[in-house]
């Protein structure tokens, strides 16, 4: 059944026999090997249209753009159905769900069995990272969803290019994905880091189904990174160019739906643009970081596209994202307008009526939400107007500063600088944020989300903190680590800081600190800018507001430390002693 097409594309016997084995399990009507060509894109688009999996948008206004509506029970990551399957349960730690590998293969195998009858099986070879980069990894995803293939085309370097990179090697992540019947009761996202394998069944949603992204680049990636001496992080990467033309690259870890895409594409506010500042996007969600021979940490973006949150993306908040999604973009769970364009909450000039994300007639006047809060766009990174000339550099870019941050209505000031790598690791390890619509479950509940990796770390998080500490010992010139919070609110729950492009002001202070300048005040938690240290040229914000944004309240921090302990207690013996001693030192500073 496989013969003709496979032989043309690859002679890799490891790959060919694995695909044959999976086809025997899933029993598709046909196996299609994807080469990544333009002709293939056209053909698959037509097939997807024919089964109403996607809807053609206005090709004059939005060439190459299509809309997909998910099954309403399948619109976000399902963390309770996501498992790490290692021989020993303690290796996944207290923050991951565990399943015994044989049990997982048996259980999911039962669901996969015969599940592709009447459908085609697509084989997608892909690279995470720039082609020919020694930092890149090859994966091969099998799927029965054309929507998934079309997304993978945008999000990864796929097809022939990946087979060329793989050659005859057996070193690739085996990614099996099937929609089965999209039944949430038969949905499992299982990772087998010890086998370099991922099996995902019963969902066609982004992070559950585009297996190169969270599953490979973060869960399997973090596991491989620990073995091989690098880091896989839920971080954006951006370059900040000063008026002299010098560029500092920084990375930032914020939990899902907490502003990575927006920060990665921000436009300098007028006051700073006039002075000559520019921002360059390298990546918006994931960074792979390695110690370089020069003692610095170097980062690549393993992805080739953006799977961004649509809701909230507007002319005012993120004009670069809007320019990026003018063409060749897939939209998921947004409003379809009368003239076959798209809209979502937070996008200016709403239409009076349209079809909502569930496919039902919708009017603006109804006050109902038209787009799902986790609606998304999938767009090629190369279309971003501020994409960095370095974004595909196989060596990556050197990182000067790293930022941790989340949604905190209180406690965390706008920015503070940690004292060193070890203290920064502690600050990342104790990050907290209010939950969002990116995953199913309650929204707005504060939870610990270390390094924004809580749902994405492929092994015991205690060991992960240890890995951070060990990387710090290997780099002579570590980036400075900061913590930011764009989401502090007033007594009415209104955001105090204007955010978006204005965030550049805060990053510039951090870069001044990297360069040994920038005025700072010592506080128990770290160094905070003095009231006049942040460049506010052209921004109208009161002195009182700034003072409150930068305030460090001792009583709030003492309570924060108590709540950190509840999280630490889960790790029992596996929390590095350095993390505990950093917390003790902070407690002592707060008491002084």
* Interaction site with Mn ion (CB under 5 A): 256, 285
Give the residue, chosen from 21, 184, 495, 545, that forms a contact with ligand GTP under the rule CB under 6 A.
Answer: 495
**Closest separation in Å from C-beta 258 to Mn ion:** 9
285 binding ligand GTP? (CB under 6 A): yes
SS3 506: helix
Tokens 């973060």: give the residue. 218
Output 405 or 518, the one with its CB closest to ligand GTP. Answer: 405
Which of the choices ligand GTP, ligand SPV, Mn ion, none does residue 351 contact, using the CB cut-off of 5 to 8 A by kind?
Answer: none
At closest approach, how far in Å is the CB of 501 from ligand GTP?
9
Nearer to ligand SPV, 91 or 285 (CB): 285
Residue in 505, 8, 564, 577 with CA at minimum distance from that of residue 266: 505
Nearest to ligand SPV of 206, 478 (CB atom): 206
Binding residue for ligand SPV, selected from 300, 310, 438, 454, defined by CB under 6 A: 438
DSSP letter (8 states) at residue 579: H
Structure tokens at 340: 């076959």
Select the residue interacting with ligand GTP from 143, 251, 262, 433 (CB under 6 A). 262
Shortest distance (Å) from residue 197 CB to Mn ion? 22
Contact 124, 143 (CB under 8 A): yes
Binding letters toward ligand SPV, positions 306-325, x by CB under 6 A? -x------------------
Quick one: tokens of 531?
């009231």
Q: Which stretch binds ligand SPV (CB under 6 A): 136-144, 207-215, 219-227, 380-388?
A: 207-215
Do you know the residue count of the chain?
592
Shortest Å, Cβ 128 to ligand SPV: 13
Minimum CB separation of residue 172 from ligand GTP in Å reads 26
Q: Which is nearer to Mn ion, 25 or 215 (CB)?
A: 215
Nearer residue to ligand SPV within complex by CB, 216 or 511:
216
- Could you say which of 261, 400, 527, 583 contacts ligand GTP (CB under 6 A)? 261
Among 93, 159, 302, 308, binds ligand GTP (CB under 6 A): 308
CA 32 to chain centre: 29
Distance in angstroms (rounded) separating the CA atoms of residues 241 and 556: 36
Catalytic sites, residue numbers: 258
Are 273 and 544 contacting, i.e. CB atoms less than 8 angstroms apart? no
For residues 465 and 517, the answer to whether their CB atoms sit within 8 Å is no
> Using CA atoms, how far apart are residues 157 and 328, in angstroms rounded to an integer?
15
Structure tokens that stand for 275 in this block = 């002075």
| Angle of CA points 148, 154, 155, to nearest 5° | 80
Q: Does 269 bind ligand GTP (CB under 6 A)?
A: no
Q: Which is nearer to ligand SPV, 200 or 564 (CB)?
A: 200
Site string for ligand SPV, 213-252 (x = CB under 6 A): xx--------------------------------------
Instruction: For the CB of residue 481, give the shortest distance to Mn ion in the complex, in Å.
Output: 20
Query: Which helix H or strand E contains 82, and what residues bound it?
Result: strand 82-84
Count of residues binding ligand SPV (CB under 6 A)?
A: 9
Instruction: List, as one string, the DSSP characters of 521-566.
Output: EEETTEEEE-TTTS--TT----HHHHHHHT---HHHHHHHHHHHHH
From the list 163-171, 197-205, 214-222, 498-506, the region that binds ligand GTP by CB under 6 A is: 498-506
Residue in 282, 271, 280 with CA at minimum distance from that of residue 245: 280
Q: What does 467 bind: ligand GTP, Mn ion, ligand SPV, none (CB cut-off 5 to 8 Å by kind)?
A: none
Q: Which does 261 bind (CB under 5 to 8 A by kind): Mn ion, ligand SPV, ligand GTP, none?
A: ligand GTP
Binding residues for ligand SPV restricted to 247-266, rule: CB under 6 A: 256
Residues 419-458 that bind ligand GTP (CB under 6 A): 438
Which residue reads 């792979």 in tokens?
Answer: 288
Task: Specify the DSSP class assigned to residue 96.
Answer: S
Structure tokens at 559: 């309570």
Per-state percent for the chain, helix, strand, coil, to nearest 5: 35, 25, 40
Decide: 199 and 188 in contact? Cβ < 8 Å. Answer: yes
Q: Which is nearer to ligand GTP, 62 or 452 (CB)?
A: 452
Min. distance of Cβ 508 from ligand GTP in angstroms? Answer: 15
Considering only residues 468 to 487 of the shown chain, the ones binding ligand GTP according to CB under 6 A are: 486-487
Kindly report each contact of residues 228-232 with a partner whose C-beta sits within 8 Å and lies 24 or more positions away, as own/partner.
Answer: 229/290, 229/291, 229/471, 229/474, 230/135, 230/288, 230/289, 230/290, 230/291, 231/287, 231/288, 231/289, 231/290, 231/467, 231/468, 231/471, 232/286, 232/287, 232/288
Q: 317 touches which of ligand GTP, ligand SPV, Mn ion, none (CB within 5 to 8 A by kind)?
A: ligand GTP
Helix (H/G/I), strand (E/B), else coil: 357: coil
Q: Of 228 and 492, which CB lies nearer to ligand GTP in the complex structure?
A: 492
Half-sphere exposure of residue 165: CA atoms within 13 angstroms, side-chain side: 24
CB of 95 to ligand GTP, least distance (A): 18
Per the CB < 8 A criterion, the answer to whether 129 and 217 are in contact is: no
Site residues for ligand SPV per CB under 6 A: 77, 206-207, 213-214, 256, 285, 307, 438
Site residues for ligand GTP per CB under 6 A: 254, 256-262, 284-285, 308-309, 311-312, 317, 438, 486-487, 495, 499-500, 503
């Amino acid at each position: 059944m496989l013969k003709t097409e496979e032989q043309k594309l690859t002679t890799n016997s490891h790959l060919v026999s694995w695909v044959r084995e999976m086809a025997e399990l899933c029993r598709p009507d046909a196996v299609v090997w994807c080469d990544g060509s333009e002709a293939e894109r056209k053909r698959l688009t037509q097939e997807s249209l024919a089964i109403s999996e996607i809807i053609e948008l206005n090709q004059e206004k939005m060439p190459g753009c299509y809309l997909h509506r998910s099954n309403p029970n399948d619109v976000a990551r399902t963390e309770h159905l996501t498992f790490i399957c290692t021989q020993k349960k303690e290796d996944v730690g207290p923050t991951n769900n565990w399943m015994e590998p044989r049990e997982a293969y048996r259980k999911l195998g039962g669901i996969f069995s015969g599940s592709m009858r009447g459908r085609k099986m697509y084989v997608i070879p892909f690279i995470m990272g720039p082609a020919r980069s020694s930092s890149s990894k090859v994966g091969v995803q099998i799927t029965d969803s054309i929507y998934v293939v079309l997304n993978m085309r945008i999000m990864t370097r796929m097809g022939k290019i990946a087979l060329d990179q793989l050659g005859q090697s057996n070193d690739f992540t085996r990614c099996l994905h099937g929609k089965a019947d999209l039944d949430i009761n038969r949905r499992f996202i299982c990772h087998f880091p010890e086998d370099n394998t991922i099996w995902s069944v019963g969902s066609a949603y982004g992070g559950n189904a585009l297996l190169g992204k969270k599953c490979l680049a973060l869960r399997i990636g973090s596991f491989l990174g620990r073995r091989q001496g690098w880091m896989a992080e839920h971080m954006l990467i951006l370059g900040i160019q000063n008026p002299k033309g010098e560029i500092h690259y920084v990375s930032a870890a914020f939990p899902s739906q907490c502003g990575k895409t927006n920060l990665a594409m921000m436009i300098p506010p007028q006051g700073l643009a006039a002075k000559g500042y520019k921002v360059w996007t390298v990546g918006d969600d994931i960074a792979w970081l390695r110690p370089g021979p020069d003692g610095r940490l170097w980062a690549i973006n393993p992805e080739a596209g953006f799977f961004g949150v649509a809701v909230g993306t507007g002319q005012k908040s993120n004009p670069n994202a809007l320019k990026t999604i003018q063409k060749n973009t897939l939209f998921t769970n947004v409003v379809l307008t009368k003239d076959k364009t798209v809209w979502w909450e937070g996008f200016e000039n709403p239409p009076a009526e349209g079809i909502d994300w569930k496919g039902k007639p919708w009017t603006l006047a109804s006050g109902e939400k038209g787009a799902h809060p986790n609606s998304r766009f999938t767009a090629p990174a190369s279309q971003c107007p501020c994409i960095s000339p370095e974004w595909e550099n196989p060596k990556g870019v050197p990182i000067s500063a790293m930022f941790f941050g989340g949604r905190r209505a209180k406690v965390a000031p706008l920015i503070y600088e940690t004292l060193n790598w070890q203290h920064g690791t502690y600050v990342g390890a104790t990050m907290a944020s209010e939950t969002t619509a990116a995953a199913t479950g309650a929204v707005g509940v504060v939870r610990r989300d270390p390094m924004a990796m809580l749902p994405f770390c492929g092994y015991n998080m205690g060991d992960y903190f240890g890995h951070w500490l060990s990387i710090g010992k290997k780099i002579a010139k570590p980036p400075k680590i900061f913590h930011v919070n764009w989401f502090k609110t007033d007594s009415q729950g209104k955001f105090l800081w204007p955010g978006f492009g204005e965030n550049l002001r805060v990053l510039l202070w951090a870069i001044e600190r990297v360069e040994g300048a920038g005025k700072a005040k010592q506080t128990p938690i770290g160094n905070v800018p003095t009231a006049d240290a942040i460049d506010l040229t052209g921004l109208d914000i009161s002195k009182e507001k700034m003072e409150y944004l930068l305030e460090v309240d001792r009583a709030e921090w003492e309570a924060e430390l108590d709540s950190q302990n509840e999280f630490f207690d889960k790790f029992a013996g596996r929390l590095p002693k350095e993390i505990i001693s950093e917390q003790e030192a902070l407690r002592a500073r707060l008491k002084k």
